[in-house]
């Protein structure tokens, strides 16, 4: 779920004409927490947090009851505990969420082959070709929500609009468990009532810069000459936000293809300036990616670091390994050296990500060097087995664990080496 700012004024009805709105954005509500409640119905109505159980862990998802206390995804568990000490904390179970996600995506694929899976809990659909069989986009959206609820048991929110960008914003304003239509002719009126932070690519820093120029809502942003925006934010960001402020988004819905990479990335609303914090985020991402490789019987030969600064400048650095791997220790060794050569951007990192490419199947085999030990991956594979049985938090790298400390004390210094 997006944590971008919302506007109560945008939640109202914008009309009933869905004749020019073929794009649907389906977004599961608090997905990890909703799935956990299927196994723990006794927790319905209580604040639930899904994430790492150590103080250095982060919140992966939380129920709306926990959000009422200010808990949000990507927040440190220490901060989440301070805000909502009575919350029930459950470990992450990625395999379970993936299995439930496949059932959800199966429902969507009954509507149209034009399904673009964005993540485990959200997807875009182009229902242009489904109208004759299933009815209008709004009727299709209602059918999707009903079928997911009855078959899978979890809630979904749907945004209906003329473009992907507007449909995504609409679904975020439909939450929880709702649907919002933005007719084509109402697109600009809908966008105008939003704060600038609701647009893709606008975080706290950019919002503050725009506010310094008197630009706090999309209405003012849309009325600002694009050349001025380019001077304020830079050419790329200025043009990007000018187009979005007018609802311009020509991207089509692109159905998924065979996975050619495995990756994960995190966007931070409060930028990261502490490099030790950045290393810890990347170490966690390396372990996530390596675990996904092993689960799919894949290996990767290319390691990619992605970093975006507060000014939206994005850089990628990559390195090709001598032999393909599915081990986090190999991946992080490369990522750590790539980060070491990358200066902290002005204002800090607003996004960090790890991507693994050059995938090959495990059964393809790999040539071992004379000094390679085929048993070197045994610890990580043993950890996979333990987490599969006892939960994600049962084992973790030492650098991601919290040493014993007195209640209420701050986090310990970050370890400088992965184990």
The residues annotated as belonging to the active site are 122
For residue 18, give the 3-state DSSP assignment: coil
Instruction: Report the 3 state secondary structure along 114-169.
Output: CEEEEECCEEEEECHHHHHHHCCHHHHHHHHHHHHHHHCCCCEEEEEECCHHHHHH
In this structure, are strands 156-161 and 179-181 parallel, antiparallel, or unpaired? parallel
Q: Are 114 and 25 in contact (CB under 8 A)?
A: no
Question: Quick one: CA dihedral 82, 87, 88, 93, positive or negative?
Answer: negative
**What torsion, rounded to 10 degrees, do the Cα atoms 314, 319, 325, 326 define?**
-10
User: In the numeric block, which tokens belong to residue 230?
Assistant: 């380019």
User: In the numeric block, which tokens belong to residue 78?
Assistant: 């220490």
The Cα 394–Cα 391 span in angstroms is 6
Q: Which residue has the tokens 């071992």?
A: 368
User: In the numeric block, which tokens belong to residue 389?
Assistant: 């049985």
Annotated binding site for Mg(2+): 27, 121
Could you tell me where the DSSP H helices lie in 246-355?
A: 275-295, 328-340
HSE of 94, CA atoms in CB hemisphere, 13 A: 15
Q: For 330-346, give the DSSP string.
A: HHHHHHHHHHHTSPPPT
User: In the numeric block, which tokens belong to residue 2?
Assistant: 């997006």
Q: How far is residue 89 from each of residues 8, 72, 271, 328, 401, measured CA to CA in Å?
A: 30, 13, 26, 26, 16
């Amino acid at each position: 779920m997006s944590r971008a700012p919302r506007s109560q004024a945008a939640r109202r009805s914008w009309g009933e004409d869905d004749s020019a709105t073929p794009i649907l954005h389906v977004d599961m509500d608090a997905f990890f927490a909703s799935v956990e409640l299927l196994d723990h119905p006794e927790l319905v109505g209580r604040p639930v947090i899904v994430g790492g159980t150590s103080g250095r862990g982060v919140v992966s998802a939380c129920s709306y009851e926990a959000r009422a206390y200010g808990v949000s995804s990507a927040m440190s568990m220490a901060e989440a505990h301070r805000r909502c000490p009575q919350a029930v904390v459950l470990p992450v179970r990625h395999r379970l969420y993936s299995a439930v996600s496949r059932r959800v995506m199966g429902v969507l694929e009954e509507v149209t082959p034009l399904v673009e899976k964005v993540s485990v809990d959200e997807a875009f659909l182009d229902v242009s070709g489904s109208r004759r069989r299933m009815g209008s986009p709004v009727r299709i959206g209602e059918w999707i929500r009903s079928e997911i609820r009855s078959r899978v048991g979890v809630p979904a929110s749907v945004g209906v609009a003329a473009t992907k960008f507007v449909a995504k914003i609409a679904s975020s304003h439909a939450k929880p468990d709702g649907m919002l239509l933005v007719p084509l002719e109402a697109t600009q009126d809908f966008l105008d009532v939003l704060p600038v932070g609701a647009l893709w690519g606008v975080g706290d820093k950019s919002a503050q810069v725009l506010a310094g120029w008197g630009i706090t809502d999309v209405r003012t942003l849309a009325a600002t000459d694009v050349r001025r925006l380019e001077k304020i934010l830079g050419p790329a960001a200025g043009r990007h936000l000018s187009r979005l402020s007018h609802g311009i988004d020509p991207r089509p819905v692109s159905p998924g293809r065979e996975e050619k990479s495995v990756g994960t990335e995190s966007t931070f609303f409060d930028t990261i300036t502490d490099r030790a914090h950045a290393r810890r985020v990347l170490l966690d991402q390396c372990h996530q990616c390596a675990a996904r490789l092993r689960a799919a019987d894949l290996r990767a030969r290319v390691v990619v670091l992605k970093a975006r600064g507060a000014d939206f400048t994005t850089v990628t650095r990559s390195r090709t390994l001598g032999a393909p791997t599915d081990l986090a220790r190999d991946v992080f060794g490369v990522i750590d050296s790539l980060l070491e050569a990358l200066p902290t951007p002005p204002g800090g990192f607003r996004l960090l990500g790890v991507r693994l490419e050059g995938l090959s199947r495990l059964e393809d085999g790999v040539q071992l060097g004379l000094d390679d030990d085929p048993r070197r991956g045994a610890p990580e594979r043993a950890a996979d087995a333990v987490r599969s049985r006892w939960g994600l938090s049962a084992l973790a790298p030492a650098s991601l664990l919290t040493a014993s400390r007195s209640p209420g004390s701050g986090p310990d210094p970050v370890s400088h080496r992965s184990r």
